[in-house]
């Protein structure tokens, strides 16, 4: 075991155990006790009797002082002191005794103390510095005190100190005792060793004669109580003398390999290179059994400048370890004398941990194992860092775990403020949370081909295995996550709060409550994640997004949906209040059977943008694709969620189930969706069950699999189409038109950064499609109401708007993937190019992130003016305004940290929003409560029942509906250029009714009388200047209703 370090300590009073005084019998009758180590071939050490202690590791506190006079003169050179400490550190590290430097400083003393004359005057120094929890070391100035002294073994005193002087020591030929092994020698005395060759110096044996030990070789006073040193008998002592200028003994007999030990007085100081195994054993016995030494035993600190290797297993439980800035610790398997690999297992006491300071390095490699003692839990690991985003990895705490190394039963592994954990081919067995926390720069961390396993020996409470908090650009690839045997099915695998991360390249997840979850807490608006080419088995929820936009889910296999049902409904993929997502590319969803409450993909309130879920397959599920709440533009539902290239294979009760506000009204936009149906549930509308507020036009091909069968659909109008969506691209992002209709050849297909050339292709396409869309809007206003031409133009406008949003989305994901820095102005430009309220909300969040509250409020308050809102959407916008006002109040006074430390009043406000809002405000509030305050908000999806298909929802105009449930008047298009259509619906007793149009100053510019209970009124706007107008529905017996209309001149 190569242990090169100085460390933090454990603790003892400075009174040491008394040395044994009983006589030692002659060797012919000597019985060597089992607690004495002898490395001769016949001794107990070779027989393994000392294995219980030889590999134990102990850590001792030391306090180091360089003495100087009051005027600052006479101090020992720092370089010499450091070299002397390093010699001592190395000598003790090699036998598993390590040091923790608690203080290292100059100590000014008066002349009387500075010029003390020896042991009798040591209290002059101890009066300045004296510690009961460590060993005090004093370095004297040159020429003042010319030898080293220590107080230890055999002498019981109240304090312990080592004094190392300058000048010439009388017993060695070096000009100075500093630097040399003299401090290691004196420290040996401090820990219980005595001289093996001369116990009484040179002049004072007990008998008063110089031949006492030669005449009495077995007297305990002439014995060092160590059986592998040269002082075992007088013959070996006399035969193993050194030439003063040569480190090779002239003759050493059987002890030729052991005589160069540090405690020998007859050896030149520069020849003292090691302690013997027996000496190591004796010191460890003192450290382990002597009560008065326990105060000096310490935690481990690896100080700056030391590079330590542990390659042997200590037998005892280690205390906590701290790796300082500029220090490194490598833990790896060792190699024995035969060249065979030996297992290194480091066991930590309960409550112990490893802390890597910023700038420190920890390498765990080559199959080494870190675990708790006796299969117990230990505290784990902390990796610190510097929050400065521009700092390189060398300024951060840095941990690598490679080559089959294993971390077992660690309570937590926490990586903070830019610290890095990079693991490859590593195991994390029955560990708690591995968290990566709060860093503005790009993280250097990743996990590659790691196994994260929780089995029956996992004893902690349910918790995520990997947790990302406000951090970005971490990748998990090729990892195995297995919770199936833990008995803790409530645990999640990977959870991200306001984080950007990727999971890819054949990761597997088995037996979790939620395998992968991302949450937008309203703090970092740039959070997103991607999940590609992975396998999910028997998880309650496979992947869940809580308000996280721009996610990518592609090429994954979701198996056994429903096998780990934790109630009420298992889901493969959950999209909750998120937009800009890509869900395509051969995802497969396989359930536990149609009788189990299960959903393949649940789209929950994804909003008004044109999204496509495509190229996915489903089987053995209750519901394959479900859409609930609002997944379209509720006022103009031509835009919204589309399904294309979906393969519903077998045993599915409901291939499509749509409820509440519905999805895009024209599925396929005039081109066959290329979906196929399972035709499994013949007694119900199993092909397509639509109980939403709008009837759906469904474009299909003429194949049996692609055509909804009679009596197997509800509230859709199947329409055969001549052209079909091309599914051959495999569903790449851009390979399938957002609303069906051919391929585009878009460069890139996920969340990677585009090259400048690729981006320019998309910019050109966006500009082209945008121009086409503007022309379509202008032409639409002149077409006869309800005509075939008007309906065809509506389909074209929806396709163009969808493609605009899709192209903008791809560029947005590229901007977010840029590791050189986030271009916020560019990001806001492309969010604005989506022309949706969801994108505008994201821009608002970006202003809040920069504390630009004025622009945040200005844009937020413009949303109801720019976009027609239904009654429910207007209510949700009010909740969003309340939520942003609350955040502004916190951010303006306490910053982002304030949201993480709310008082009871603030927490009550967040809970109120989380409870009442079903939109982005509520979802962000729920995410914050889940992340920080211990709540567990989750969706409770609706499930189709037999009775639902028998109750028809409200009817309305299907092309331009009367705004949904609470919206009695709507304008289309809005913004408008030359003509606008007002659709309306009145109560039977509404009485005299009209629509009044006024400019922003309140001047009425139109008065349109209504002559029916519901219908449309067209009005020419070409003569009016562009700007914001108000239109109001006024009825004699009903409350008025007012909305915004934007007229443009482009």
Place of tokens 């968290």: 435
Is 787 domain-assigned?
Answer: yes
Assess whether 657 and 766 both reside in one domain.
no
Q: Is the pLDDT of residue 546 over 70?
A: yes
Beta bridge partners of 509: 481, 536
Instruction: Give just the sign of the alpha carbon dihedral 187, 188, 189, 192.
Output: positive
Q: Is the pLDDT of residue 376 over 80?
A: yes
Q: Is the pLDDT of residue 493 over 50?
A: yes
The whole-number pLDDT of residue 194 equals 73
723: confidence class by pLDDT, cuts 50, 70, 90 = very high
1037: confidence class by pLDDT, cuts 50, 70, 90 = confident
Is 711 domain-assigned?
Answer: yes
The torsion angles phi and psi of 371, rounded to 5 degrees, stand at -155, 175
| 720 CB-near residues (< 8 Å, 6+ apart) | 672, 699, 700, 701, 702, 707
DSSP element (H, E) containing 235: helix 234-239
The whole-number pLDDT of residue 98 equals 81
Tokens (6 digits) for 542: 């496979």
Tokens (6 digits) for 579: 């937009």
Mean pLDDT, range 892-920, rounded to an integer: 94
The whole-number pLDDT of residue 75 equals 84
Is 314 domain-assigned?
Answer: no
Is 913 domain-assigned?
Answer: yes
Assess whether 133 and 269 both reside in one domain.
yes
Assess whether 768 and 909 both reside in one domain.
yes
Q: What is the pLDDT of residues 555-583, one digit of tens each?
A: 999 999 999 998 889 999 999 999 999 99
User: Do residues 361 and 335 make contact, with C-beta atoms less than 8 angstroms apart?
Assistant: no
Integer Cα distance of 465 and 413 in angstroms: 10
Is 11 domain-assigned?
Answer: no
Beta bridge partners of 448: 424, 477
Q: Assign 3-state DSSP to the chain and report helix, strand, coil percentages, each to 5.
A: 25, 30, 50
Nearest in space to 565 (alpha carbons), one of 647, 653, 490, 499? 490
Average pLDDT, the chain: 80
The whole-number pLDDT of residue 1036 equals 78
Of 230-234, 331-335, 811-815, 1039-1043, the least confident: 230-234
Integer Cα distance of 161 and 142 in angstroms: 19
Integer Cα distance of 366 and 405 in angstroms: 6
User: Do residues 837 and 881 make contact, with C-beta atoms less than 8 angstroms apart?
Assistant: no
The whole-number pLDDT of residue 441 equals 86
- For the chain, the distance separating the N- and C-terminal CA atoms, rounded to the nearest angstrom, is 78
| 660 CB-near residues (< 8 Å, 6+ apart) | 628, 629, 630, 692, 693
378: confidence class by pLDDT, cuts 50, 70, 90 = very high
Instruction: Give just the sign of the alpha carbon dihedral 101, 102, 106, 108.
Output: negative
Burial-class residue 55 by CB neighbours within 10 Å (0-12, 13-18, 19+): middle
Assess whether 884 and 988 both reside in one domain.
no
Is 305 domain-assigned?
Answer: no
Can you give the CATH number for the domain in which 1003 is found? Answer: 2.60.40.1220
Q: Is the pLDDT of residue 200 over 70?
A: no
Of 276-290, 757-771, 945-959, the least confident: 945-959
User: Do residues 58 and 284 make contact, with C-beta atoms less than 8 angstroms apart?
Assistant: yes
The answer to whether the pTM exceeds 0.85 is no
1030: confidence class by pLDDT, cuts 50, 70, 90 = confident
Q: What is the pLDDT of residues 660-689, one digit of tens each?
A: 999 999 999 999 999 999 999 988 899 999
The whole-number pLDDT of residue 271 equals 57
**Percent of the residues in the chain that have a pLDDT greater than 70, as a whole number:** 78
Q: Is the pLDDT of residue 67 over 90?
A: no
The whole-number pLDDT of residue 255 equals 37
DSSP letter at 815?
A: H
Task: Please tell me the total number of residues recorded for the chain in this structure.
Answer: 1050
Residue-number span of the structural domain to which 85 is assigned: 52-293
Integer Cα distance of 165 and 175 in angstroms: 12
Q: Decide: helix, strand or coil at residue 288.
A: helix
Integer Cα distance of 428 and 537 in angstroms: 20
Q: Which of 259, 277, 293 is the last residue of a domain?
A: 293
User: Do residues 354 and 323 make contact, with C-beta atoms less than 8 angstroms apart?
Assistant: yes
Is 18 domain-assigned?
Answer: no
Integer Cα distance of 859 and 864 in angstroms: 10
Is 14 domain-assigned?
Answer: no
Higher pLDDT, 251 or 217: 217
The whole-number pLDDT of residue 732 equals 40
Tokens (6 digits) for 306: 């030391």
Assess whether 482 and 595 both reside in one domain.
yes
Integer Cα distance of 464 and 449 in angstroms: 19
Residue 894's CB: how many other CB atoms inside 10 A?
Answer: 14
Assess whether 214 and 354 both reside in one domain.
no
Assess whether 893 and 982 both reside in one domain.
no
DSSP letter at 794?
A: H
DSSP letter at 769?
A: H
DSSP letter at 731?
A: S
Nearest in space to 174 (alpha carbons), one of 40, 293, 270, 247? 270
DSSP element (H, E) containing 531: strand 528-532
Q: Is the pLDDT of residue 528 over 60?
A: yes
Integer Cα distance of 374 and 350 in angstroms: 10
The whole-number pLDDT of residue 266 equals 60
Strands 969-972 and 979-985 turn out to be: antiparallel
Assess whether 685 and 822 both reside in one domain.
no
Higher pLDDT, 650 or 245: 650
Distances (CA, A) of 329 to 400, 507, 1004: 11, 30, 79
Mean pLDDT, range 688-697, rounded to an integer: 94
197: confidence class by pLDDT, cuts 50, 70, 90 = low
Can you give the CATH number for the domain in which 206 is found? Answer: 3.40.390.10
2: confidence class by pLDDT, cuts 50, 70, 90 = very low
User: Do residues 629 and 658 make contact, with C-beta atoms less than 8 angstroms apart?
Assistant: no
Integer Cα distance of 676 and 644 in angstroms: 9
Integer Cα distance of 657 and 690 in angstroms: 6
Q: Which of 273, 293, 313 is the last residue of a domain?
A: 293
Of 123-127, 842-846, 888-892, the least confident: 123-127
Q: What is the pLDDT of residues 326-359, one digit of tens each?
A: 999 999 999 988 999 999 999 998 888 999 999 9
| 265 CB-near residues (< 8 Å, 6+ apart) | 171, 195, 197, 198, 201
- Say how far residue 126 (Cα) sits from the centre of its chain: 49
Considering 74-88, 298-312, 452-466, the range whose residues carry the highest mean pLDDT is 452-466
| Residues 416-433: b if buried by 16+ CB within 10 A, e if exposed | bbbbbbbbbbbbbbbbbb
Assess whether 143 and 243 both reside in one domain.
yes
Assess whether 82 and 220 both reside in one domain.
yes
Assess whether 885 and 1017 both reside in one domain.
no
The whole-number pLDDT of residue 222 equals 55
Q: Is the pLDDT of residue 82 over 80?
A: yes
Q: Is the pLDDT of residue 134 over 70?
A: yes
The whole-number pLDDT of residue 1017 equals 87
Integer Cα distance of 873 and 635 in angstroms: 10
Integer Cα distance of 723 and 508 in angstroms: 39
The whole-number pLDDT of residue 757 equals 96
User: Do residues 107 and 68 make contact, with C-beta atoms less than 8 angstroms apart?
Assistant: yes
**Percent of the residues in the chain that have a pLDDT greater than 90, as a whole number:** 48
Q: Is the pLDDT of residue 216 over 70?
A: no
Assess whether 1011 and 928 both reside in one domain.
no
- Greatest CA span in the chain, whole angstroms? 134
Q: How many domains does the chain have?
A: 4
Can you give the CATH number for the domain in which 690 is found? Answer: 2.160.20
Integer Cα distance of 416 and 959 in angstroms: 54
Place of tokens 């959870």: 495
The torsion angles phi and psi of 65, rounded to 5 degrees, stand at -135, 135
């Amino acid at each position: 075991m190569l242990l090169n370090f100085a460390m933090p300590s454990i603790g003892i009073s400075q009174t040491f155990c008394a040395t044994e005084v009983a006589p030692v019998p002659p060797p012919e009758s000597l019985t060597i006790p089992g607690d004495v180590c002898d490395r001769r071939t016949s001794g107990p050490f070779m027989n393994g009797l000392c294995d219980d202690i030889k590999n134990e590791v102990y850590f001792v506190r030391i306090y180091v002082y360089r003495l100087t006079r009051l005027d600052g003169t006479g101090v020992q050179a720092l370089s010499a002191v450091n070299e002397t400490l390093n010699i001592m550190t190395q000598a003790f590290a090699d036998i598993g005794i390590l040091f923790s430097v608690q203080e290292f400083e100059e100590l000014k003393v008066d002349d009387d103390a500075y010029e003390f004359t020896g042991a009798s005057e040591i209290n002059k120094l101890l009066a300045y510095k004296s510690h009961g929890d460590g060993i005090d070391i004093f370095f004297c100035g040159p020429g003042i005190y010319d030898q080293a002294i220590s107080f230890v073994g055999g002498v019981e005193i109240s304090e312990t100190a080592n004094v190392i002087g300058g000048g010439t020591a009388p017993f060695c030929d070096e000009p100075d005792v500093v630097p040399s092994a003299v401090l290691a020698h004196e420290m040996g005395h401090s820990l219980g060793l005595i001289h093996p060759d001369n116990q009484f110096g040179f002049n004072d044996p007990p008998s008063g004669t110089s031949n006492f030990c030669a005449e009495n070789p077995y007297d305990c006073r002439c014995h060092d109580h160590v059986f592998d040193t040269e002082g075992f008998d007088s013959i070996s002592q006399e035969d193993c003398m050194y030439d003063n200028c040569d480190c090779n003994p002239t003759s050493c007999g059987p002890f030729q390999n052991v005589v160069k030990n540090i405690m020998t007085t007859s050896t030149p100081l520069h020849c003292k290179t090691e302690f013997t195994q027996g000496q190591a054993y004796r010191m460890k016995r003192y450290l382990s059994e002597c009560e008065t030494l326990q105060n000096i035993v310490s935690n481990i600190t690896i100080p700056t400048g030391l590079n330590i290797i542990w390659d042997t297993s200590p037998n005892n439980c280690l205390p906590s370890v701290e790796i300082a800035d500029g220090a490194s610790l490598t833990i790896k398997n060792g190699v024995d004398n035969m060249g065979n690999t030996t297992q290194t297992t480091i066991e930590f006491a309960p409550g112990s941990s490893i802390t890597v300071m910023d700038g420190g390095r920890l390498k765990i490699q080559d199959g080494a194992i870190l675990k708790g003692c006796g299969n117990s839990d230990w505290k784990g690991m902390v990796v610190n860092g510097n929050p400065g985003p521009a700092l390189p990895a060398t300024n951060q705490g840095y941990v690598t775990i490679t080559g089959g190394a294993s971390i077992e039963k660690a309570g937590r592994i926490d990586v903070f403020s830019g610290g890095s954990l990079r693991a490859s081919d590593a195991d994390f067995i029955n560990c708690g949370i591995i968290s990566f926390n709060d860093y503005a720069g790009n993280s250097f961390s990743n996990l590659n081909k790691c196994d994260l396993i929780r089995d029956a020996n996992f004893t902690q409470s349910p918790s995520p295995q990997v947790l990302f908090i406000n951090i970005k650009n971490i990748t998990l690839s090729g990892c195995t996550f297995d919770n199936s045997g833990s008995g803790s099915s409530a645990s999640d695998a990977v959870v991200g709060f306001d984080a950007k991360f990727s999971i890819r390249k054949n990761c597997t997840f088995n037996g979790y409550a939620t395998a992968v979850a991302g949450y937008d807490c309203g703090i970092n608006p740039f959070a997103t994640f991607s999940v590609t080419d992975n396998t999910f088995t028997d998880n309650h929820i496979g992947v869940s997004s809580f308000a996280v936009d721009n996610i990518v889910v592609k090429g994954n296999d979701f198996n056994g949906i429903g096998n780990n049902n934790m109630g009420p409904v298992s889901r493969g993929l959950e999209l909750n209040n998120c937009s800009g997502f890509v869900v395509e590319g051969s995802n497969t969803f396989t359930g536990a059977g149609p009788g189990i409450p299960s959903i393949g993909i649940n789209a929950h309130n994804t909003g008004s943008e044109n999204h496509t879920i495509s190229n996915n397959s489903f089987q053995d599920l209750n519901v394959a694709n479900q859409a609930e709440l609002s997944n379209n533009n509720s006022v103009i539902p031509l835009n919204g969620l589309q399904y294309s290239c979906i393969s519903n294979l077998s045993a599915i009760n409901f291939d499509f189930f749509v409820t509440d506000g519905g999805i895009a009204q024209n599925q396929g936009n005039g081109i066959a969706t290329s979906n196929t149906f399972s035709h499994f549930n013949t007694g119900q509308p199993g092909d397509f069950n639509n109980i939403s507020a709008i009837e759906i036009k469904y474009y299909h091909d003429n194949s049996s699999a692609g055509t909804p069968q009679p009596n197997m659909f509800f509230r859709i109008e199947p329409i055969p189409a001549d052209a079909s969506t091309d599914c051959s691209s495999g569903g790449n992002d851009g390979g399938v038109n957002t609303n069906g209709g051919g391929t585009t050849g878009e460069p890139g297909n996920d969340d990677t950064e585009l090259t400048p050339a690729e981006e320019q292709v998309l910019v050109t396409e966006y500009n082209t499609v945008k121009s086409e869309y503007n022309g379509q809007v202008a032409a639409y206003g002149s077409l006869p109401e309800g005509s075939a031409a008007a309906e065809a133009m509506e389909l074209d406008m929806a396709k163009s708007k969808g493609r605009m949003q899709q192209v903008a989305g791809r560029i947005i994901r590229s901007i977010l993937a840029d590791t050189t820095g986030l271009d916020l102005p560019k990001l806001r430009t492309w969010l604005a190019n989506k022309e949706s309220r969801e994108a505008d909300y994201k821009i608002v969040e970006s202003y809040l992130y920069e504390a630009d509250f004025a622009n945040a409020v200005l844009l937020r308050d413009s949303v109801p003016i720019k976009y027609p809102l239904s009654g429910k959407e207007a209510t949700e916008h009010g909740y969003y305004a309340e939520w942003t006002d609350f955040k502004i109040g916190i951010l303006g006074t306490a910053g982002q940290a304030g949201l993480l430390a709310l008082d009871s009043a603030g927490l009550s406000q967040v809970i109120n929003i989380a409870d009442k809002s079903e939109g982005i405000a509520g979802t962000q509030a729920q995410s914050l409560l889940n992340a920080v305050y211990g709540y567990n908000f989750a969706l409770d999806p609706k499930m189709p029942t037999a009775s639902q298909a028998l109750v028809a929802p409200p009817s309305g105009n299907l092309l331009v509906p009367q705004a949904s449930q609470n919206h009695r008047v709507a304008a289309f298009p809005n913004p408008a250029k030359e003509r606008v259509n007002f659709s309306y619906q009145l109560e039977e007793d509404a009485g005299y009714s009209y629509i009044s149009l006024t400019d922003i100053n309140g001047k009425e510019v139109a008065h349109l009388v209504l002559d029916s209970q519901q219908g449309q009124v067209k009005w020419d706007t070409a003569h009016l200047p562009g700007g914001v107008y108000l239109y109001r529905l006024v009825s004699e017996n009903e409350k008025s209703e007012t909305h915004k209309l934007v007229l443009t001149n482009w």
